[in-house]
Structure 1
Amino acid sequence: MKIKSIHIYSDDGRRRDVNFHDGLNVITGRSSTGKSALSEIIEYCMGGSDFKIPEGVIRDRVTWYAVIYRFDGEEVLIAKPAPSPTAQSASAAMVRRGAAVEPPAHSELNVNDNDDGVIALLSDLVGIPENMTEVPIDNSRESFDATIKHTWYYLFQKQAIVTNKDQLFYRQNEQYQPQAIKDTLPILLGVSGKEKFTLESQLRAAQRELRLKAKLIQQAAEAADSSEDRAFSLLSEARAVGVIARDGNVGAQQVIDVLRTALNWKPQPVPDDDGQRISRIEQDLVDLRDGRREVQRRIESAQQFARRADGFQNEAHEQKDRLASIRALPFSKATGDWQWPFAEANLGITTPIAQALLSELESLDRELTAVTGERPALDSYLGEQQEEVAKFAEQIRTKELELASAISASEFLTEMGNRNNAASRVVGRISLFLENFVPDSELARLKNEEGRLKSRVAELERRLGADDSEARLMSTMSNIASYMGGYIKALGGEFGQFPARLDLHNLTVVIDRPARPIYMNKTGGGENHLAYHLAALLSLHRFAATYDQPIPSFILIDQPTQVYFPSERAYAEAGGSIERTEKDADLEAVRRLFQMFVRFASEDAPGFQLIVIEHANLRDDWFQAALVEDPWTKPPALVPDDWPDIPMD
């Protein structure tokens, strides 16, 4: 799989084409002309939904992006519209296949697929076998299929990565990606094939089923040891709560059948009780007692009145008796009237004092008459109130009897409910016991199944050959390592005299110096880091190309010669100029790098496609032949200046 061409489309229907060829392809020019965006366009048109095109004229003026990929005997166009201005991703795509595919006109662009379809198609065409990553059963991560997306790690060496001492592969610094690299690279290098994947899937399924059968047999055996005692214990409980009749003896052979009858038990119906009867009776009692207290209060008031009346009557009688003595005074023989002792002789009792005393005596007579007349009515009133108190007492006694009866009835209903609940619990335990009870015939069947599964697992393990994938992976990594030292030497990397290898566990390059291994992040100098990066990537692609492994046969390297310039500013100012390159760069190092690229694509991996994004430019004929276009300036650049901006909705 290689890149035939990249195409972008303007809003008014114009198209810009960038064509590539086998071998070394160089795009050089000034900064901010769109060179680095090429890798983002390729990724976007390989099923990448995230829209990573940098902000600026490319986003503002390009409506569609397209890439034509070349395979053996077939070409595939993948085109994708730009997402809406507020969106960060898009999955709609157009797919066109054929022996030779030409870029379509703007009017021919239409969506007929999506990223999932693109990934499946490219994965199949590049030859990635049916697979699934190997993940231990007790691991938290899940297995997944390796696809074309898992080759991106080895296809793009962007400006920030190509000389990074801590990051070897594209996206290696993102969460979960290091593990994805470790899981999928063995598949892409042919260590894990379709047959192995199929056998491993069948083995895992058979092992899971075997573990399940073994667990069932263990449970059945443990249950069988105590099943008889447990059965009779449950029978006793069922009889105690009335689920099973108490009559008759049950033997060990019949106990299971008797317990099964308990499953037909139905709870005893409980009479309805609205739950308010006791409350109503208690309220009636409260009302009756309040009524009785009111009558008793009236009786006490009447009795208090009677007591006050009796006291008055006694005092009045005493007063009257004292005053009545006036009537005993002597009569005047001459007049026949009472004679006042202190009055003048022969004077009658007609003085004011005598008249007042006589008047008081008459008043007492009247009050005594009134009190004596009210007493029969008061006695009658008190009698009526006493009868009312007696009625209240009888009603209270009746209500108290009714309350006691209601409380007794409620306790009976509660007892019935508790008895039903107890019976239900026993029936539930019996049901669980019978559900887990395994007859001897079923236990024998389970053991036969276990034997069959053991034979199946043994056969699958034999066919897998005791799983030699680790040994095969070590052999593969050793082959890749055998190429790396030559590339490090060719680029003048430090420690080039020692063997180098790709450390898949730590995802870095290791130099095996006799004293101790040296890891890439422990080395210094951008030139060294560039040498280690390119040695690892080129060696991996060389192995894949030599042994026809399913990794696309291209790699895009962004600005590798930056390390050969005295400063970033000097590198940027080179801008595709031969003169500035010869003035500022380590010219021999730049030439050595590109000569190695040419040699790699012509000798080490014939036909391999190297796309290099650069600021440097060499006057050598072979380098000029590798230029895809004239150096990009402003203009020309990736996006023409006269393209219109996309209208904002």
Structure 2
Amino acid sequence: MKFYIESLHLWLNDGRKRSLTFLPNKVNVITGGSHTGKTAILDIIDYCFFASRHRISESIINENVLWYGLCIHVNDKVYTLARKAPTGAAISNDYFFSPIGDVPSGPPEKNIEDNALKILLSADFGIDQDVKIPFGGRVLRAGSRISLRYFLMFNTISQDIITHSEQFFDKQDQARYQEALPRIFDIAVGIDSVENILKREKRTELEQRLTRLQRRSAKTEESRGAFYTELAETTAKAKSYGLIPEADDAEESVAMLERMVVDGETGSDLFVSGRHEEISSELYQISRKLRGLRKFLGEYTHHKNVLLETADSLKPVEYLLTNHKDTVRTSVFFDIIEKLADGLREIKAETSRKTPLDSNISELIKSLESRREQLQRDFDALPSGAEAFENQKDKYIFIGETKAKLEIFAGGDQGVSRDYSAEIEDLEKQIGDLSVSSREDRQEQFTSVLDETIQDYISLVKIALGNYGDYRSAFNYKEKKLYLRKPKTAFIENVGSSSNHMFLHLFLFLGLHEIIMRNDGNHVAPFLIIDQFSRPYWGDDDNGGPADAQSPEQRPKMDIKESDVAKVNSALNLLNEFIDIATDMNKEFQIILFEHIKPRYWESLENFHLVEIFSDGNALIPPTPLE
């Protein structure tokens, strides 16, 4: 990410415009005495970047300003954004924005909504709807959008924390920022990426779905057992009352119970007692038909046998016709013989041919016998000793209860019978296909690289650290704090003095920004605002320290050690060296430094740029012409 502040603008209520100009890839110094407005510049920059509350001094500064504005360079674009001055403690939501960096000569006018401007700048910081809070807290909700203001915690070392022994980041007295720091730290420094976060969120979602399915599957197995237990009890009870016959499986049992309910509601008498009568009646009718058919068939067979016997008794007629010459004939001989011969021929014809009656009767008997066998099996399957209801009311109450159970079974049957194995297998495959980098491994790697980077800074200023010059960097990832470790031990030293704490703050922030630049980070802007790191040595002295005292007599009164001057020079050289490190990486980095020391301390440092000296009446709010 590319970023630097080109200029800061204050539109005063007397019509004048106060401007300060900064250079990229430089340590921009504003120096001067106390109460001249140096620290207010940090508060003004913070206010322009959507602060929800402000710390701008009402006296002198805010009471004289109508609008505050910044001209910034972001990723090869130039923007001007301005915000109307607060009224007392109440902030303003009136913003002016120029996408080409135009700076109005007079007070700006509102031309954009704050949310629209936030979205626009957030996109330049690589923050979109996909970048969300990974886990929630008391104030921040998980899944809520990350504000670009959270990343600005990496861009300031205010006078409140420059020498703090416990806090290394600004705004940690506010719960919102206190919770935000551990939640955005990995994204800011490159431990994690948006792509990896989205994959992790997707995997978490899939794992949650998998867990739900596995629980549902286990519950289904449990419900299936309960389902069939209840079904078996209801079926057994129905059988005991003689309402349904035996069934081969659960599905058939359900079908029989449903039929029982339907028949009970429609008044059909398909209960066992009625079924006994129905089958018995049909068996009786079939038996009667069979008896009648068999009797008829017997008589028909007997008739044919009689005909055959008659045919046998008439066989002599054929002989007489053939041998009539040898017999004594009368006048009626031939008439009688012819009549008998005709009868014999008819009997032979009748007994020799098969009629449809023969086969039809046989088939009908077979069909009736088969039906009788089926009825007998159904009859045998009916309970022989069924319990009896006390009255019809009890019977229909049981039918109603069975109906209700069947409806519950029908409603839960999909869940009971559903097989989740294919869905579970598919989710497991999707989870396996998601390649998500381990944050824990990358956190360890980051800590190691950060300590290695900071160790180079420690070597540059080891003399200024005194007894701790040979100590090792020990960044505590969980606490987001930097400590010094005694060489070849695990012992963490309490460095004690505010001077050493000041150097620890510089080490940590410069180390973080170096790693962010090496990782081509696009969430943290490459600039750093430092407010008076020399305070541990000279406080807020207006005269700029002992080297600027006008006579030797003045120096003892100020009680400033020459070693403190060397420490300040070491810190200045460290900042100068960091700009060279950024340049060697083909990166640009801007430092804005508020101080009260004289320019002679950095005149030999090529990466320093004097913005202004606030002294002799010159201040952030200049005196009026009359004054």
SS in 1 for 2:159: coil
**Once the two structures are superposed, what CA deviation does each residue of 1:189-243 show, in whole Å capped at 9, x if it has no partner?**
222223212322221222222222222222221111121332365689999xxxx
2:495 paired residue number: 523
Contact 2:43 2:55 in 1 (8 A): yes
**8 Å contact 1:7–1:67 — kept in the other structure?**
yes
- Distance between the aligned counterparts of 1:178 and 1:47, measured in 2? 18
**Counterpart in 1 of 2:412?**
436
SS in 2 for 1:454: helix
1:419-434 to 2 correspondence within 5 Å? 432-434=408-410
**1:593 paired residue among 562, 571, 584:** 571
- The one-letter code of the counterpart of 1:526 is S
Deviation at 1:167, TM superposition (A): 0.9
Matched, 1:470 2:440: yes
Contact 1:234 1:430 (8 Å CA) reproduced: no
CA gap of 1:222–1:13, structure 2 versus 1, over 3 A, is same
Deviations 1:427-451 (A, max 9, x none): 88765554333377x523x322222
State the alpha-carbon separation in 1 of the partners of residues 489 and 173 from structure 2: 26
State the match for 1:347 in structure 2: none
| Change in CA separation of 1:439 and 1:199 when aligned onto 2, cut-off 3 Å | closer
Contact 1:168 1:533 in 2 (8 A): yes
The answer to whether the 8 Å contact 2:162/2:533 transfers is yes
8 Å Cα contact 2:526-2:590 kept in structure 1:
yes
TM-score (structure 2 length as normaliser): 0.66
Structure 2 residue corresponding to 1:561, chosen from 522, 528, 534 = 534
User: Distance in 2 between the 1:564 and 1:260 partners?
Assistant: 98
Cα distance, 1:518 vs structure 2 = 5.0
- Whichever residue aligns with residue 251 of structure 2, its letter is Q
C-alpha distance in structure 2 between counterparts of 1:607 and 1:538, whole Å: 13
Residue of structure 2 in register with 1:451 after alignment: 425
Letter in 1 for 2:482: V
- In the TM superposition, what whole-angstrom CA distance separates every residue of 1:376-405 from its partner, at most 9, and x where no partner exists? xxxxxxxxxxxxxxxxxxxxxxxxxxxxxx
Task: Say whether the 8 Å CA contact 2:22–2:611 is kept in structure 1.
Answer: no
> 2:68 aligns to what?
65
Conserved 8 A contact 2:67-2:82? yes
AA aligned to 2:418 is: L
Aligned residue number for residue 612 of structure 1: 593
- The CA RMSD over aligned residues, in Å, is 4.0
1:573 and 1:580 in contact (8 A); partners too: no
The residue that corresponds to 1:389 in the other structure is none
Query: Would you say 1:573 and 2:571 are equivalent positions?
Result: no
Pair 1:483-2:453 in alignment: yes
* Secondary structure of the structure 1 residue equivalent to 2:175: coil
In structure 2, relative to structure 1, the CA distance for the partners of 1:57 and 1:236 (3 Å cut) is: farther
Question: Alpha carbons of 1:503 and 1:79: their partners in 2 closer, same or farther (altered >3 Å)?
Answer: same
Partner of 1:21: 23
Q: How much does 1:259 deviate?
A: 6.7
1: distance between equivalents of 2:237 and 2:81?
Answer: 75
Q: Deviations over 1:322-369 (max 9, x none)?
A: xxxxxxxxxxxxxxxxxxxxxxxxxxxxxxxxxxxxxxxxxxxxxxxx
User: How far did 1:57 drift?
Assistant: 1.9
Question: Would you say the 8 A contact 2:206–2:427 is kept in 1?
Answer: yes
Q: CA deviation at 1:136?
A: 9.4
Is the CA contact 1:164–1:529 (under 8 Å) kept in the aligned structure 2?
yes
Confirm or deny: 8 A CA contact 1:581 1:587 kept in the other structure: no
The CA deviation at 1:558 is 0.6
Relative to structure 1, is the Cα distance of residues 106 and 261 closer, same or farther in structure 2, using a 3 angstrom cutoff? farther
Partners in 1 of 2:574 and 2:433 — Cα distance? Answer: 50
Cα deviation, residue 155, structure 1: 0.9
Residue-by-residue CA offset, 1:118-166 (whole Å, 9 max, x unaligned): 34333321345743344499x9962444442222222111112001111
Identity rate, percent: 20
SS at match of 1:65: strand
- The answer to whether residue 170 in structure 2 is matched with residue 170 in structure 1 is yes
3-state DSSP class of the match of 2:468? coil
Task: Give 1:555 shift.
Answer: 0.6
Q: CA deviation at 1:32?
A: 1.4
Question: 2: distance between equivalents of 1:458 and 1:260?
Answer: 49
Alpha-carbon shift at residue 554 of structure 1 (Å): 0.9
Residue 510 (structure 1) shift:
2.1
Whichever residue aligns with residue 203 of structure 2, its letter is L
Q: Which residue of 1 aligns with 2:520?
A: 548
Tell me, in whole angstroms, the C-alpha distance in 2 between the residues paired with 1:221 and 1:8.
72
CA offset digits 1:498-542 (Å, max 9, x no partner): 22032121221122324644547x221111111111111111112
Contact 2:28/2:610 (8 A) holds in 1: yes
Q: Is the 8 A contact 1:556 1:611 kept in 2?
A: yes
Shift of 1:173: 3.9
| 1:404-423 deviation per Cα after TM superposition (whole angstroms, max 9, x unaligned) | xxxxxxxxxxxxxxxxx999
Deviation at 1:643, TM superposition (A): 9.5
| Match of residue 637 from structure 1 | 619
In the alignment, which residue of structure 2 is the partner of 1:120? Answer: 119
Question: 2:431 corresponds to which letter in structure 1?
Answer: V
User: Per-residue deviation at 1:255?
Assistant: 5.7
Aligned pairs (5 A) from 1:367-516:
432-438=408-414, 442-444=417-419, 446-460=420-434, 463-464=435-436, 467-491=437-461, 492-493=464-465, 494-514=467-487, 516=489
| Corresponding pairs, count | 471
Name the structure 2 match of 1:273.
Answer: none
CA contact (8 A) 2:29 2:592 kept: yes
Partner of 1:43: 46
CA distance in structure 2 between the aligned counterparts of 1:149 and 1:469, rounded to whole angstroms: 24
- Residues 50, 90 of structure 1: 8 Å contact kept: no
- Secondary structure class of the residue paired with 2:191: coil
Distance 1:125 1:591 in 2: 36
Alpha-carbon distance change, 173 to 247 in structure 1, aligned in 2, over 3 angstroms: same
Alpha-carbon distance between aligned partners in 2 of 1:189 and 1:218, rounded to the nearest angstrom: 43
Contact 2:32–2:542 under 8 Å retained in 1:
no
Assess, with a 3 A threshold, how the Cα gap between structure 1 residues 430 and 70 changes in structure 2: closer, same or farther: same
Summarize the Cα distance change of 1:616–1:107 in structure 2 as closer, same or farther, 3 Å threshold.
closer
Aligned residue type for 1:42: I
Q: Which runs of 5+ in 2 are unaligned?
A: 266-396
Deviation at 1:624, TM superposition (A): 10
Equivalent residue of 2:212, what SS? helix
Greater displacement, 197-206 / 153-162: 197-206
Q: Which has the larger radius of gyration?
A: 1
Which deviates more, 484-493 or 623-632? 623-632
Contact kept in structure 2, 1:220 and 1:436, CA below 8 Å: no
- Indicate whether 1:253 and 2:225 are aligned: no
Q: For the residues of structure 1 that align with 2:259 and 2:45, how far apart are their CA atoms?
A: 70
- 2 CA distance for matches of 1:171 and 1:439? 53
Give SS of 2:414's match. coil
How far apart are the structure 1 equivalents of 2:516 and 2:238?
74
The residue number in structure 2 matching 1:534 is 506
Q: Measure how far apart 1:35 and its partner are.
A: 0.8
Separation in structure 2 between the aligned mates of residue 107 and residue 59 of structure 1, nearest angstrom: 14
Is this contact kept in 2: 1:502–1:510, CA < 8 A? yes
Name the amino acid aligned to 1:488. I
1: CA distance, partners of 2:614 / 2:123: 36
Separation of aligned partners in 2, 1:110 and 1:152: 24
In structure 2, relative to structure 1, the CA distance for the partners of 1:262 and 1:180 (3 Å cut) is: farther
Cα pair 1:29 1:576 within 8 Å, conserved: no
Give the AA of the match of 1:619: R
Name the structure 1 match of 2:306. none
Q: Which residue identity does 1:633 align to in structure 2?
A: S
